[in-house]
Structure 1
Amino acid sequence: MTVALVTMSHSPLLGYADPPAEVNAAVQGAFSTARAFVEEYDPTLVVSFAPDHYNGFFYDLMPPFCIGYEALGVGDYGTAEGPLDVPAGRAGELAQWVAERDIDVAVSRRMEVDHGAVQPLEILFGGIDRVPTIPVFVNGVARPFVTMRRVRRLGEAIGGYLASLEDERVLVIGSGGLSHDPPVPQWATADDAARALLLNGRHPTAAARDARQQRVIDTAKAFAAGTATIRDLNPAWDTALMAVFASGDLSPVDAMTPEQMAEDAGNSAHEVRTWVAAFAALGAAGPYDVTYSFYRPIREYIAGFGVMTARTAG
């Protein structure tokens, strides 16, 4: 059997920001290439590694990893709201397989997912319920973080399960990163109102969600104009990490620490954990070849923006 992969940056600012026409055309071209890759592969099952941005997971109970048996899009930034098509039986098998390989993973029978998980499904498939999808949450915003080695081992365990599915064509998605430092509150420096959001900000009013989203949009405009105080993008860091993924040897990521990642690439660079898990899953299913790679640092999206596709050789 074969396993295929798409890793891609997401941005809540798609549709809200206005990058130069050439940049927008390049991004849309990358999305088109990824869509064509997926259409040709025609997956029967998707495993989606994605973070959350305090829309579904909060500090009242923040796991490092969680497998969803059911999932609902929350509809932030104009993304789809409602249920994903989650095959609960497969999700349960996956969770048991991972647990038996000494990876502690939470499960959710009502996972709520935001644009981090929804946006790739909309871009690649045109909707969130077109292909059976098992969502795997990977914490990329809330300290403390597990080691990158642990993330890699999660991916390897999941890849071992996927390799056993002779009757499926599995697409692995990794959504997040690369270097970026959007205005997501940090518990250590947050005021009381922000801490209330981080602790349990589920199901905000429309006005509260709009105000939160507008802060991000305003920051993006300031960042593009060179007046924002957030950390800059780091194209060298981004492309070096993408080269590691393309090499097939993920062992260098084990040495990456949360402190250095934030210093080099911003507080939300931790979202690259989804890419690590996705490529580790692909590698566990067999040797792979990267078939496409795209990268642009895009200030209007507050993101080092990357897209990669790959598949095993089997």
Structure 2
Amino acid sequence: MPILLECLSHTPLDGYYDPTPEVMAEVKRAQHAARARVETFDPELVVVFAPDHYNGFFYEVMPQFCIGVAATAVGDFNSLAGPLDVEQDTALALAGKVLASEIDVSISYRMQVDHGCAQALEVLTGALDRYPVVPVFINSVAPPMASCRRSRLLGDAIGRFLAQTGKRVLVIGSGGISHEPPVPEIEGASEEVAERLIAGRNPSAESRAARQARTVAAAQSFAAGNSRLHPLNPEWDRAFLDLLAAGDLTAVDGMTDDAITRDAGKSAHEIRTWIAAFGALAAYGPYAASLDYYRPIPEWIAGFGAMHAQPAAPKNTASTAQIAATLT
């Protein structure tokens, strides 16, 4: 088994405003099972597709896709902080392969990643630096954004490169499904907020604490039913997860930004990380996928899910078009 895929939701609110102990136990069981699969697989390389929430990437220069040649986690919301063990030669070779496939991608020798990347590494490996890693940023919150189709093609190009390495590769997609936490938008923003979205690296401790407090307050209001944030959409979430499991990823090409925002919320665009991860897996051939966990969790303002997949014999995907039609 040369490749293992693990896709999972992340949340900055874990430990700040949690659901019931029963729901927490469900989530932890799913995460522990994923960690056990990774332990057994013992990857030689990890590729993480992750978004950012205006902690490492800003409108001063906002790439759609960026490969980290060196990377550090900022430690927001009490997530792990510090350097990732980036395999630089592999990251550079990967970037070259992606560009040769006519997918535009940037590189960074000073990438900063936030909880969207760090939490996945902690859940699945226990550390930022246990295994050699290549982080791949996918813009998922800062319009305009590359299409779902381009995210699939990015994953395909990366998967074709990985298949040639001969290494055991863990591919991670870290992102939400339906959700709309209070992420600021540059359109209509005040001068102060706009500046933070343009050049907001390395905020003060006071600024970061205030931002985290606003997020917790928004979650409390959302869970109480007193919020204007987009409601969670379990039906949409399950249709998207079914689409990934069905195996014909070209069906995501028709998913538009307007439809995603309308049906699942402004931060549901993080599904691009799942799409890219499955695109990388699909480059190895047909796969078998398992939905390990799904529940809408209002306290975390998230449709919260986890899937894993690995290469398998071809399966019948005749229903894929029907599934895709519900998402466009």
Q: Where on the TM-score scale, by shorter chain, does this alignment land: which range? A: over 0.9
Amino acid in structure 2 at the alignment position of 1:198: L
Deviations 1:75-132 (A, max 9, x none): 1001111100000000011000111111110000110000000001011111101111
Q: Tell me the equivalent position of 2:209.
A: 210
User: In structure 2, how many angstroms separate the alpha carbons of the residues matched to 1:127 and 1:218?
Assistant: 29
- Pairwise CA distance, 1:25: 0.8
Q: Tell me the equivalent position of 1:244.
A: 243
Q: Tell me the equivalent position of 1:42.
A: 42
Q: Tell me the equivalent position of 1:121.
A: 121
- Pairwise CA distance, 1:293: 2.4
- Pairwise CA distance, 1:291: 3.7
User: In structure 2, how many angstroms separate the alpha carbons of the residues matched to 1:283 and 1:47?
Assistant: 15
What is the DSSP-based 3-state SS (H/G/I as helix, E as strand, rest coil) of the residue aligned with 1:271?
helix
Amino acid in structure 1 at the alignment position of 2:158: I
Amino acid in structure 2 at the alignment position of 1:296: R
Q: Tell me the equivalent position of 1:169.
A: 168
Q: Does 1:154 align with 2:140?
A: no
User: In structure 2, how many angstroms separate the alpha carbons of the residues matched to 1:188 and 1:259?
Assistant: 16
Deviations 1:269-311 (A, max 9, x none): 0000000000000001222111442100000011000000111
Q: Tell me the equivalent position of 2:53.
A: 53
Q: Tell me the equivalent position of 2:302.
A: 303
Q: Tell me the equivalent position of 1:62.
A: 62
Q: Once superposed, what is the RMSD of the aligned Cα atoms?
A: 1.0
- Aligned-pair identity in percent equals 53
What is the DSSP-based 3-state SS (H/G/I as helix, E as strand, rest coil) of the residue aligned with 2:210?
helix
CA contact (8 A) 1:73 1:83 kept: yes
Of 122-131 and 282-291, more deviation after overlay is shown by 282-291
User: In structure 2, how many angstroms separate the alpha carbons of the residues matched to 1:155 and 1:300?
Assistant: 31
Q: Tell me the equivalent position of 2:17.
A: 17
User: In structure 2, how many angstroms separate the alpha carbons of the residues matched to 1:77 and 1:113?
Assistant: 12
For structure 2, the residue ranges without an aligned partner over 5 or more in a row are 314-328
- Pairwise CA distance, 1:159: 0.5
Q: Tell me the equivalent position of 2:192.
A: 193
CA contact (8 A) 2:241 2:291 kept: no
What is the DSSP-based 3-state SS (H/G/I as helix, E as strand, rest coil) of the residue aligned with 2:103?
coil
Q: Tell me the equivalent position of 1:7.
A: 7
With structure 2 as the length reference, what TM-score do the two structures score? 0.94
User: In structure 2, how many angstroms separate the alpha carbons of the residues matched to 1:260 and 1:292?
Assistant: 24
CA contact (8 A) 2:151 2:272 kept: yes
Amino acid in structure 1 at the alignment position of 2:145: F
Amino acid in structure 2 at the alignment position of 1:181: E
User: In structure 2, how many angstroms separate the alpha carbons of the residues matched to 1:31 and 1:45?
Assistant: 20
CA contact (8 A) 1:2 1:313 kept: no
Q: Tell me the equivalent position of 2:99.
A: 99
For structure 1, the residue ranges without an aligned partner over 5 or more in a row are none
Deviations 1:56-77 (A, max 9, x none): 0000000000000000000100
What is the DSSP-based 3-state SS (H/G/I as helix, E as strand, rest coil) of the residue aligned with 2:267?
helix
Q: Does 1:227 align with 2:231?
A: no
Amino acid in structure 2 at the alignment position of 1:210: A
Amino acid in structure 1 at the alignment position of 2:219: A
- Pairwise CA distance, 1:313: 3.3
Q: Tell me the equivalent position of 1:289.
A: 288
CA contact (8 A) 1:224 1:299 kept: yes
User: In structure 2, how many angstroms separate the alpha carbons of the residues matched to 1:286 and 1:133?
Assistant: 23
Q: Give every structure 1 segment of 4 or more consecutive aligned residues whose post-TM-superposition deviation is greater than 6 Å.
A: none
Aligned length: 313
With structure 1 as the length reference, what TM-score do the two structures score? 0.98
Amino acid in structure 2 at the alignment position of 1:125: T
What is the DSSP-based 3-state SS (H/G/I as helix, E as strand, rest coil) of the residue aligned with 1:47?
strand
Structure having greater relative contact order (Cα 8 Å, sep ≥ 6) = 1
